[in-house]
Amino acid sequence: MVTMEQKKAYDRVMRVVNGSEEGFFFRYGHGGCSKIFIYNLMSAKVRSRGKIVLTVASSGIAPLLLINGRIAHSRFKILITVDEYSTYNIRQGSLLAKLLIKIDLIIWDEAPMLSRYCYEALDICLRDIITHASIANCERPFRGNVVVLGGDFRQILPIITRGSRQDIVHATINSSYLWEFAEVM
Ligand SMILES: Nc1ncnc2c1ncn2[C@@H]1O[C@H](COP(=O)(O)OP(=O)(O)OP(=O)(O)O)[C@@H](O)[C@H]1O
């Protein structure tokens, strides 16, 4: 049985996935506070309606707990070293590009572990790929796709070789231009 707080977060995302709204959510909570439990609930429900959900995680262990989870680097072909100019290695017309045009929900766990440039590259990639399919939502983050990131900023942050505290904070997702669109839940 889900708690009231879990139901509220689940209902909020489901309303957006089922409606025409776009949404970018961040599920924030400490370890063991049911983030994966909610992701699995959401992905099972959305998939049961014949819709497409991509579930990924930043680290090698978390995808094992997600239903059909994959490592984000493998799923999106993210380069190992990313910077502000990075994009994903996905070609127009490829099978992955066609899949990305059709997705209804992206769930990405352990998001604080990766550099914000990984998410900004996803944003650029979706804008680029979906531009060829539709001109709707061109101003919205992730081209209007429903994206749920999640994780705990008190756990592992991006690793910056010989980086200072400021460099690490600057590399996290909440320093990104995308963060102003995020609905934290
Ligand atoms: N409403 C619920 N009913 C039954 N079990 C629950 C419920 N909510 C959470 N749990 C259980 O609590 C445990 C911790 O939940 P979960 O793994 O989703 O946490 P998490 O926030 O993803 O943890 P971490 O940050 O360490 O990955 C799991 O075993 C999960 O099945």
Q: What percent of the chain has pLDDT over 70?
A: 95
pLDDT in tens, 54-68: 999 998 788 899 999
Band (pLDDT 50/70/90 cuts) for residue 2 is: confident
Interface confidence (ipTM) of the complex: 0.90
Residue 13 domain-assigned?
no
Task: Give, for 6, the enclosing helix (H) or strand (E).
Answer: helix 4-18
CA 22–ligand 1 middle distance (angstroms): 27
Residue 52 domain-assigned?
yes
d(CA 45, CA 116): 29
The number of domains in the chain is: 1
Q: Are the beta carbons of 171 and 182 closer than 8 angstroms?
A: no
Residue 10 domain-assigned?
no
pLDDT of 9: 92
Residue 5 domain-assigned?
no
**Which residue's C-alpha comes closest to atom 15 of ligand 1?**
34
Range of the domain at 45: 24-184
- Residues enclosing ligand 1, CB less than 6 A? 1-3, 6, 29, 31-37, 152
Which is the closest atom of ligand 1 to the Cα of 155?
25
Q: What is the mean pLDDT of residues 71-90?
A: 86
pLDDT of 133: 57
Residue 124 domain-assigned?
yes
Q: Compute the mean pLDDT over every residue in the chain, rounded to the nearest whole number.
A: 88
Which residue type occupies 33?
Answer: C
User: Is 126 a residue whose pLDDT tops 80?
Assistant: yes
- The enclosing domain of 134 has a CATH number of 3.40.50
pLDDT of 56: 95
**Which residue's C-alpha comes closest to atom 3 of ligand 1?**
1
pLDDT of 72: 92
User: Is 77 a residue whose pLDDT tops 80?
Assistant: yes
Residue 102 domain-assigned?
yes
Residues β-bridged to residue 25? 148, 183
